[in-house]
Amino acid sequence: MFEKVLIANRGEIALRVARACRELGIKSVAVYSTADAESAVVRFADEAVQIGPPAVARSYLHIPSLIGAAQKTGADAIHPGYGFLSEDPYFAEICTDEGITFIGPRPDVMEKVGDKATARDLMSKAGLPLLPGTVEPVNTVDEAHDISREIGYPVIIKAVAGGGGRGMSVVTREEDLANLYQSTRATAQAVFKDSAVYIERYLQTSRHTEIQLVCDSHGNGVYFGERDCSVQRRHQKLIEEAPSVHLTPETRREVGEAAVRGALSVGYTGAGTMEFLLDLEGNLFFMEMNARIQVEHPVSEAVTGVDLIQEQIRVAAGEKLSVTQEDVPLRGHAIECRINAEDPDRDFAPTAGRIDTYIPPGGPWTRVDSHCYPGWMVSPFYDSLIAKVIVWAPDRDRAIDRMVRALQEFEISGRGVKTTIPFHLQILDHPQFRSGDITTDFVEHFMSEQTAATAAG
Amino acid sequence: MTESKRTSANQELIRAVWDEARDLIKRLEGSTVQRFSVEAGDTKIEIERGMPAGVVASAIPAAAGAPAEDSAPAGADDRHPIKAPLVGTYYGAPSPGADPFVKAGDSVEVGQTVAIVEAMKLMNHVQADAAGTVAEIVTVDGQWVEFEQVLMYLEPAGED
């Protein structure tokens, strides 16, 4: 096992990783920019190193400073958290070259699964269903026309190297195809330095379903059920839950096993997530793989009882997974709300400022992952996530009731600081959310309903 | 209809090129690259940068908290601190055995190299951001320094 782990991240996830290290008896090193000198993880970790100014390019993304801090403190591994350098094969490679274990998949594996076309090809071979479309990049307009006609409009053109909702165009009419094909390629080249695109059927309404897995370096892989993350606003997830109420136990097992098979077939190690679209008929289609721990991992922890960060660290140290598939029954229902420092009344504009009052919820089966405390300055330099509230209950209805109670209990205030708590409460109260029949366009519809109601009132 | 689609596609392309350029500007902070261009299709952005930000220590915003206890003594005098521009290993001379860049009592000009901070085999020159006389060097060769850790103090010019 590692002696000391450096956490190349900030905010709640840095604290989450430091907590896992402490429980495993591993020393932790926090790194921080000058804006984060007073952060919770700096207080909590065994050591802390100031690595740069607030701008991420010179702090949390500045590889020499991170490597230097690891060498200085004698850390034998680096946990990248999510975001920042967590899916950067180049960073993983440098860590390896410097004799520091990168807690994640090997750089070459990360590169393979990060390329959407390669990932689709590999996962389709492992038996994961794909949407009708191409596995290989589409290289000419003529080819694009033939393929689109074959799979039927609407189609979506996607950058092979794309992500975060960028480098994608939906084509509903054949006459728009040529233009959108060219512009998507050009955008892909500019943004991702790779003009390759592929085409697949576009599902108008679907649910976002993803499967959590962890693989060790001894050829073992376990899936930890799925999460439904259909409550999204502009590709940003707001509420995640586990399990999905739309998956039968048979489908869950089949797809879970195929996902593990697919991951093992590319030599994947560590925690990862396979993203799928679930259509209204209950069919899953593989979209992409995320080679990192995700923000919403706690809902899977809540229904499986497994600490995923600890498993991630364990397998990176070369140990075997501490659980087998049989040890991972799904129990009850869990929901997570991502509380952001944003103003829902001003188009979710981030609100920075000092938090004066901070009283997190407690009580049974209620977990809060947050780096905030009274006096903490919500910085304009970083993302606006300030807390994740996770609740568990024996069933979905009671989990919703518990989340409503927890959010009503949560007090965060400060000059200029607004949070998404009121917005979350409105969604939780919505009959459609209660029914569970949520597709990825739900928030959009919900918001236009709200606007209409305000106008009418 | 098609024309407006095309326009919005072009706008997206321009935005993408601009985003890429902006990203590059950020990544190049602290480097000595002065000119670069980004292009895709007919869209091209050329950027020419002045003195690279971050090379002169004064370009860095003040620290929110002291990185290490040995930074500045509380209630320090009016001596001017020269701070590490990044995390790395401190060297007071251009190469082992060579004369140091500066020693106590030397006078320095703005922009003069006073030390090196090495990070992953890249030698980053630390330049004086004020003129004065070296009063005290508080770092030793090979010492690992954090961002904004004080390396030495200058007695400001004109106050002798």
Using CA coordinates, name the residue in chain B closest to A176. B2
Same domain, A224 and A294: yes
Predicted confidence at residue A193, as pLDDT, reads 87
Nearest to A64 among B10, B17, B119 (CB): B119
pLDDT at B7 over 70: no
Q: DSSP label at B5?
A: H
Q: Which domain holds residue B15?
A: 2-48
Predicted confidence at residue B40, as pLDDT, reads 64
Whether A253 is a known active-site residue: answer: no
- For residue A122, is it within any domain? no
What's the whole-number average pLDDT of chain A?
95
Same domain, A195 and A229: no
Same domain, B70 and B44: no
Same domain, B12 and B68: no
Question: What phi, psi does A229 have (nearest 5°)?
Answer: -125, 45
pLDDT tens track for A227-244? 999 999 988 999 999 999
Q: Which of A168, A191, A354 to mutate to test the interface with B (most CBs of B within 10 A)?
A: A191
Predicted confidence at residue B62, as pLDDT, reads 34
**Range scoring the smallest mean pLDDT among A164-168, A366-370, A398-402, B75-79:** B75-79
Q: Residue with structure tokens 């701008």?
A: A55
Residues of B in contact with A59 (CB under 8 A): 147
Give residue A329's Cα distance to chain centre.
23
Of residues A383, A417, A379, the one with CA closest to residue A36: A379
Same domain, B85 and B132: yes
Q: DSSP label at B56?
A: B
pLDDT tens track for A1-16? 999 999 999 999 999 9
Same domain, B41 and B109: no
The tokens for A127 are 């038996």
Same domain, B78 and B121: yes
Task: Look at B147 and A59 and tell me if their CB atoms are within 8 Å.
Answer: yes
ipTM of this complex > 0.90?
Answer: no
Predicted confidence at residue A145, as pLDDT, reads 94
Predicted confidence at residue A73, as pLDDT, reads 96
Query: Which residue, of A178, A201, A224, is where some domain finishes?
Result: A201
pLDDT tens track for B70-124? 444 444 568 999 999 999 999 999 988 899 999 999 999 999 999 999 988 888 9
Question: Which CATH number belongs to the domain containing residue A349 in this structure?
Answer: 3.30.470.20
Task: Look at B2 and A65 and tell me if their CB atoms are within 8 Å.
Answer: no
Q: In which band, very low, low, confident or very high, does the pLDDT at A116 lie, cut at 50, 70 and 90? A: confident
pLDDT tens track for A328-349? 999 999 999 999 999 999 889 9
For the residues A424-430, what does the mean pLDDT come to?
A: 97
- Which of the pair, A29 or B18, is modelled with greater confidence? A29
Question: Which CATH number belongs to the domain containing residue A74 in this structure?
Answer: 3.40.50.20
In this complex, is the C-beta atom of A357 within 8 Å of any C-beta atom belonging to chain B?
no
Three-state SS at B153:
strand
pLDDT tens track for B11-60? 666 666 666 766 666 666 555 555 566 666 556 666 655 443 333 333 33
Same domain, B98 and B26: no
Same domain, B25 and B101: no
Bridge pairing between strands A366-370 and A411-413: unpaired
pLDDT at A407 over 90: yes
Same domain, B150 and B125: yes
Same domain, A221 and A144: no
Predicted confidence at residue A209, as pLDDT, reads 97
For the residues A313-331, what does the mean pLDDT come to?
A: 97
Question: Which CATH number belongs to the domain containing residue A155 in this structure?
Answer: 3.30.1490.20
The tokens for A394 are 């024996």
How many CB pairs lie under 8 A apart between chains A and B? 109
Cβ pair A180, A172 in contact under 8 A: no
Predicted confidence at residue A136, as pLDDT, reads 84
Same domain, A189 and A263: no
Q: Which domain holds residue A357?
A: 207-456
Question: Total structural domains in chain A?
Answer: 3
**Range scoring the smallest mean pLDDT among A22-31, A41-50, A103-112, B52-61:** B52-61
Same domain, A195 and A222: no
Predicted confidence at residue A234, as pLDDT, reads 85
In this complex, is the C-beta atom of A176 within 8 Å of any C-beta atom belonging to chain B?
yes
Q: In which band, very low, low, confident or very high, does the pLDDT at A115 lie, cut at 50, 70 and 90? A: confident
Same domain, A182 and A235: no
Predicted confidence at residue A395, as pLDDT, reads 98
Predicted confidence at residue A204, as pLDDT, reads 86
Using CA coordinates, name the residue in chain B closest to A62. B27
Q: In which band, very low, low, confident or very high, does the pLDDT at A455 lie, cut at 50, 70 and 90? A: confident
For the residues A433-457, what does the mean pLDDT come to?
A: 90
Same domain, A40 and A68: yes
Within B33-73, residue ranges assigned H as helices are: none
Same domain, A138 and A268: no
Q: Which of B83, B89, B120 to mutate to test the interface with A (most CBs of A within 10 A)?
A: B120
Same domain, B42 and B96: no
B117: part of which helix (H) or strand (E)? strand B113-119
Query: Which residue, of A179, A201, A223, is where some domain finishes?
Result: A201
Predicted confidence at residue B96, as pLDDT, reads 87
Same domain, B41 and B61: no
Distance CA A286, CA B93 (A): 57
Distance CA A241, CA B76 (A): 55
Question: Total structural domains in chain B?
Answer: 2
SS (H, E, C) chain A: CCCEEEECCCHHHHHHHHHHHHHHCCEEEEEEEHHHCCCHHHHHCCEEEEEECCCHHHCCCCHHHHHHHHHHHCCCEEECCCCCCCCCHHHHHHHHHCCCEECCCCHHHHHHHHCHHHHHHHHHHCCCCCCCECCCCCCCHHHHHHHHHHHCCCEEEEEEEEECCEEEEEECCHHHHHHHHHHHHHHHHHHHCCCCEEEEECCCCCEEEEEEEEECCCCCEEEEEEEEEEEEECCEEEEEEECCCCCCHHHHHHHHHHHHHHHHHCCCCEEEEEEEEECCCCCEEEEEEECCCCCCHHHHHHHHCCCHHHHHHHHHCCCCCCCCHHHCCCCCEEEEEEEECEEHHHCCEECCEECCEEECCCCCCEEEEECCCCCCEECCCCCCEEEEEEEEECCHHHHHHHHHHHHHHCEEECCCCCCCHHHHHHHHCCHHHHHCCCCCCHHHHHHHHHHHHHHHC
For the residues A96-108, what does the mean pLDDT come to?
A: 97
pLDDT at A114 over 60: yes
Predicted confidence at residue B66, as pLDDT, reads 37
pLDDT at A259 over 50: yes
Within chain B, residue ranges assigned H as helices are: 2-27
Query: Which residue, of A103, A118, A151, is where some domain finishes?
Result: A103
Question: Which CATH number belongs to the domain containing residue B124 in this structure?
Answer: 2.40.50.100
Of residues B143, B138, B148, the one with CA closest to residue A51: B148
Residues of A in contact with B89 (CB under 8 A): 68
Three-state SS at B29:
coil
Same domain, A256 and A401: yes
Using CA coordinates, name the residue in chain B closest to A68. B88
Task: Look at A68 and B144 and tell me if their CB atoms are within 8 Å.
Answer: yes
A173 Cβ neighbours under 8 A, 6+ residues apart: A153
Task: Look at A64 and B20 and tell me if their CB atoms are within 8 Å.
Answer: no
Same domain, A394 and A268: yes
Cβ pair B19, B90 in contact under 8 A: no
Same domain, B44 and B98: no
Using CA coordinates, name the residue in chain A closest to B45. A190
As a whole-number percent, the residues of chain A with pLDDT over 70 amount to 99
Same domain, A190 and A216: no
The tokens for A328 are 């991972």
Same domain, B68 and B147: yes
Same domain, A226 and A320: yes
pLDDT tens track for A140-170? 999 999 999 999 999 999 998 877 677 899 9
